[in-house]
Structure 1
Amino acid sequence: MLTFEVNRAEARQYCWPQREPIDYSLLGLYCDTALELTKMEMAEDSWQILHDILDNCKSNEFCMKIFVHALYANPKRSSEELCKLCKALQQVSDNSMNNIAKKMLKFTYSDLPKDYKLCLMYLAIFPRRQPIRRSTLIGRWVVEGLVTKEDWESTVRHANQCFDVLVTRWLVYPADTSSTGQVKSCVIGDQVHGFITKIARKHGILGKRLSHHLARYFSIFNHLRLHSSDRIDKFFSKLFEESSRVSLIKVLDLEGCQFFGGKNQHYLKDICSKMLLLKYLSLRGTNLTKLPSEINNLRELEILDIRQTNVPAPATVHVILLKSKRF
């Protein structure tokens, strides 16, 4: 704080007429924001620890933003907790931004509820910087059992709350927002993606058997063995050659895949005959033109998405899915 006052005094000498210098420092901006968020929750002498934490961010706005968003989500932080964070930042050996960012991400991650942590780790299966629809995440979190409540409506509501918390903490970034201000899709930044990928591998959510670029198509605990050279359309061309592991898949997200036309129209029939435990099936944006009668084999299916396809509305009349929650 002494350095700050000295610099301010020197700056005042250059002002004419005499006035307070204009201060646009990021450190000052985020300090003011942190103080505003915590002034009703913390002791008056706690401002120094907030300043020291932000100062240890070395003017890296990502780190400062993560910290301030963590305070916004939970302003009732104890002095002990903040001192521990400050000490951890000071002990970063090489002061690299990457290591400081990891400490700050660990800080905001650590006090998330357990199911919110699982939902965040789940995002590691998606490519970084690629927009992910809110509705896609909510549906997949629910059918994967990452969030559970007493009924479907309560579970979906809880999953939506989780999504909003991740946005509030700046762990995911808004990509598209509705006219009412609701975030409709989000993006995972590079630093957060790297952070959660490491944790997801440790907890077995991102399996070593499944190539990362194929992971988003399937449920997280599927035990499939697919290599980086494998293509998703080739997988379905050999579906009946696959082992019984295929029958355990609960989530199949084929949004945007264009391999259901011509001679490949049997792919969906094969899916409906082989993957009988499916709870989530997205065919959104594919070149699908009809639904086979075998679709009714999917007796566990809770979510079926055929938006942005050429399947005519009358073709859905014969679809009878007893556990359907969203169609």
Structure 2
Amino acid sequence: MDEVGAAVVPAMDAVEKLFGEHTELQLRNSALGGGWNNHQYDQEWHSALVGLEDAEKELVARLLDDNEKSLRVISLVSEEPLGKTALARKVYNRLDIRQHFERRAWVHVPKDFSYKDVTYRGLLIIILQQIELYPSWALPRAPEFMTLHFESMSEEEMSAMLYQILMKVRFLIVLDDVCTVDVWFMLAYPFANVLNGSRIILTTRDSNVASHDYLWSSRLNLMRLSDEGSWALFLKKVGIPQNSSDINNFREDILRICHGLSPAIMLLGRVLSTMESSEWSRVIDLVVAAHFGKGQLPLSNFVVLSYQMLPYVLKPCFLYLAVFPKAYEIPIRRLLHLWLAHGFVQTSPEASVTEDVAKKYLEELVCRNMIEIVRWKPDGTPKTCHMPCYLYDVFLPKAKDKGFLVHHGKSECTSADSLEFLLPFVSFNTRKRDTIEPLQPFVSFNTRKSDSIKPVFTKIINTGGFLMPKVLDLEGVFKPVLSEKLGIMVNLRYLNLRWTLLNSIPAFIGDLPRLEILDLTRTKITILPCSIWEANNLRLLYMTRVRVLKGLVIGFVEPRIYGLDRCTNLRKLDLTCFHSESALKTAQCISRLDNLHTLRLTSSGDPLNLMLSPMKDHQSLSNLYLFGGIEDHRIGNLPRNLNILTLSASRLTEDPMRVLGKLPQLRVLNLFNHSYLGQEMTCHADQNFPELRVLKLWILGKLELLTVENGAMPQLRELEIRVCEKLRSSEGLDQLPALKELILRNMPQDFVEDARRRLGNEKLLIK
């Protein structure tokens, strides 16, 4: 436990009691209402570093110093949570850094790390997973698959492979939250003689870790924010203009109690942003009154205040993050499913779609700085998240006290006697095939052989080791044995078998009376038992390539034969049409699925044009992937509320950009693989893609000229052009005001030079 956790836990009850006595301040926060968040998922807003601009410039300068060819280990040091990891991640993802370093890897180092133990092997696998050993077409990029690839290799073989690869390229490795000198020295020392400008960034709270006087190490100390930086950060988090006289009246008190500590400023700012300024004085007084010791106001006061002021519906959702290992990147998809399965998400008659409400919960916790987004999707929505590390050690005991089961196993289990089952919640093991980052839920065991699972699983059931859990999450476990005893789990709502590589599932899965979510993605399961269609509560069914419905193939028959017309609550749909007779009826059926928001529609076999007109007035469809021919005059029949549109093999002959530019909410547009066969493409100022963030043009073999009129695509941040072999020039790229990245892959040299002349190297990434 870190300094923050040690300071908070002993006084937690006393502080909570004090805050709890003033419940009148919480009444307005008792539940979520409309208008509670002004920022939503603005990636730049959440990722901006306020007060660390100078440190960012210094770090980037050291990383890109071409005069220093030797390996350099740059240590970001501060005993307090001052944004070391956030700074490292911001720099790690910068375009100029990605361009400069041929290979990059990010590793969170666990506190209980031990050399020559299973954890060191895990670190090697994590690094090898990220440095792209093979071309993207050679192996699946999923970590679970890559882990299987390394399973047969010894620790020495992996270490040698890593050394041989990294000695030939310029690399950047981030070692996050290093606690001892041995850890970073052991990982960095083998590369000490690299002379190609490679770098290692190390973040640590222990000044002793960075105090050793090695010739190839340097140190960058982070300090508390100045008054100017503190106030700028506060205004950003509270979301109120600086010239507001009401706010300026609190400036002195806020600067005094936060004392330049950025987490305190962020937490307090977001709490105050939820209430009227007339109540601010009382909140500030409470924070001060909760400080029972002497000296500087501790971060613990702000931590407890933020938790106490959470709407009651968000508290269990927040505490549930402590079930995952510290700093583990939680897929948003997985977290929301777990919240739903445990019944944390409350809906009203006006908001009956629980998935949408769950997303609102997440959004609010992010804006309150209680959840941190780690990675983002191209459309600006979050992909992975975690609880900030300075909160994790504080709320891990709290999660246990509230009844959340947390079991992070450290060694291989051979019997149920070594398992810790406290309450009917998921049990996670942080080891996965001897790696440290991924986790294995429900039971703690080694997953190299599926037969090691069966006796443990069966014994737990036979001895009453669990009390009918709602969740069984086995994501990434290699071919677990699903005992028939699983059929007695009458409360099971969520069964996650993603990346288990199972070949089949037992027929009794469909008989589970409360099963709502079944995830079979990245398995080898192609046939479902008939009983699955009788699962009355099943809402989400994921299969590789089914409230998700994936892999459905419609031939000559009507889609009603498959019961598609009865799936009125379907949220995601992936289907393939093999015949023109069924294409129209399929589109008509889709138009009646009012809750559908994601559709992947593929035509196959004989040339077949997709039918769009029945879907034109679909209101909820926001993510659409179309693979197959589209007649030019039908492109205007696309649904109006699309956020993401992907066209592939559409074979349009007329420039579609004038029509597509009218879609008011479109944020991501992907034109792939002969979707357009014309020679010229123009993005018009009068039909200007008002919300477009990402545009990707891939394999448009006849495209010769790309023109962007002044005023078109005002929000475009990323433009990627790949394998457009005849494209020689572009007009207007330098007029895109928000453009941050132009990514070129396998493009003619003439076009590359033209882009460099127009934009310079700062925004250009060539691969």
Between 1:280-289 and 1:153-162, the stretch displaced more is 153-162
Whether the 8 Å contact between 2:407 and 2:420 is mirrored in structure 1 is no
Mapped partners of 1:41, 1:141: distance in 2: 41
Residue identity matched to 2:230: Y
For the aligned residue pairs, the C-alpha RMSD in angstroms reads: 3.5
Is 1:122 aligned to residue 306 of structure 2?
Answer: no
Specify the alignment match of 2:469 in structure 1: 249
Specify the alignment match of 1:27 in structure 2: 227
Specify the alignment match of 1:50 in structure 2: 254
Describe the superposition over 1:126-155 as per-residue Cα deviations: whole angstroms up to 9, x where unpaired. 111111111212111122112222478443
Is 1:105 aligned to residue 330 of structure 2?
Answer: no
Q: Secondary structure at the match of 1:305?
A: strand
Is 1:192 aligned to residue 192 of structure 2?
Answer: no
Residue identity matched to 1:248: M
> 1:32, CA displacement in angstroms?
3.0
Structure 2, unmatched stretches of 5+, are 1-223, 411-418, 431-442, 542-767
Q: Secondary structure at the match of 2:540?
A: coil
Specify the alignment match of 2:267 in structure 1: 66
Residue identity matched to 1:116: L
Residue identity matched to 2:262: E
Please identify the structure whose Cα radius of gyration is greater.
2
Mapped partners of 2:532, 2:421: distance in 1: 23
> 1:189, CA displacement in angstroms?
2.6
Q: Between the two proteins, what is the percent identity of the paired residues?
A: 20
Mapped partners of 1:65, 1:223: distance in 2: 32
> 1:322, CA displacement in angstroms?
1.5
Mapped partners of 2:313, 2:347: distance in 1: 11
Q: Secondary structure at the match of 1:238?
A: helix
Q: Secondary structure at the match of 1:248?
A: coil
Residue identity matched to 2:464: S
Q: Secondary structure at the match of 1:281?
A: strand
Whether the 8 Å contact between 1:41 and 1:75 is mirrored in structure 2 is no
Specify the alignment match of 1:280 in structure 2: 494
Specify the alignment match of 1:15 in structure 2: none
Q: Secondary structure at the match of 2:502?
A: coil
Q: Secondary structure at the match of 2:338?
A: helix
Mapped partners of 2:285, 2:261: distance in 1: 20
Change (3 A) 1:194 1:243: same
Q: Secondary structure at the match of 1:81?
A: helix
Is 1:294 aligned to residue 514 of structure 2?
Answer: no
Structure 1, unmatched stretches of 5+, are 1-23, 261-266
> 1:323, CA displacement in angstroms?
0.7
Mapped partners of 2:528, 2:484: distance in 1: 19
Specify the alignment match of 1:82 in structure 2: 284
Specify the alignment match of 2:596 in structure 1: none
Structure with higher RCO (Cα < 8 A, 6+ apart) = 1
Specify the alignment match of 1:143 in structure 2: 341
TM-score (norm 2): 0.34
Specify the alignment match of 2:756 in structure 1: none
Whether the 8 Å contact between 2:427 and 2:444 is mirrored in structure 1 is no
Counterparts in 2 of 1:303-314, with a 5 A limit? 303-312=517-526, 314=527
Whether the 8 Å contact between 2:458 and 2:483 is mirrored in structure 1 is no
Change (3 A) 1:271 1:139: farther
Counterparts in 2 of 1:148-167, with a 5 A limit? 148-150=346-348, 153-167=352-366
Q: Secondary structure at the match of 1:192?
A: helix
TM-score (norm 1): 0.74
Whether the 8 Å contact between 1:144 and 1:219 is mirrored in structure 2 is no
Counterparts in 2 of 1:309-324, with a 5 A limit? 309-312=523-526, 314-315=527-528, 319-320=532-533, 321-324=535-538
Mapped partners of 2:388, 2:403: distance in 1: 22
> 1:69, CA displacement in angstroms?
3.7
Specify the alignment match of 2:724 in structure 1: none
Specify the alignment match of 2:647 in structure 1: none
Specify the alignment match of 2:457 in structure 1: 239
Q: Secondary structure at the match of 1:310?
A: coil
Whether the 8 Å contact between 2:503 and 2:525 is mirrored in structure 1 is yes
Whether the 8 Å contact between 1:218 and 1:249 is mirrored in structure 2 is no
> 1:319, CA displacement in angstroms?
2.3
Mapped partners of 1:226, 1:187: distance in 2: 15
Whether the 8 Å contact between 1:277 and 1:299 is mirrored in structure 2 is yes
Mapped partners of 2:457, 2:370: distance in 1: 37
Whether the 8 Å contact between 1:290 and 1:311 is mirrored in structure 2 is yes
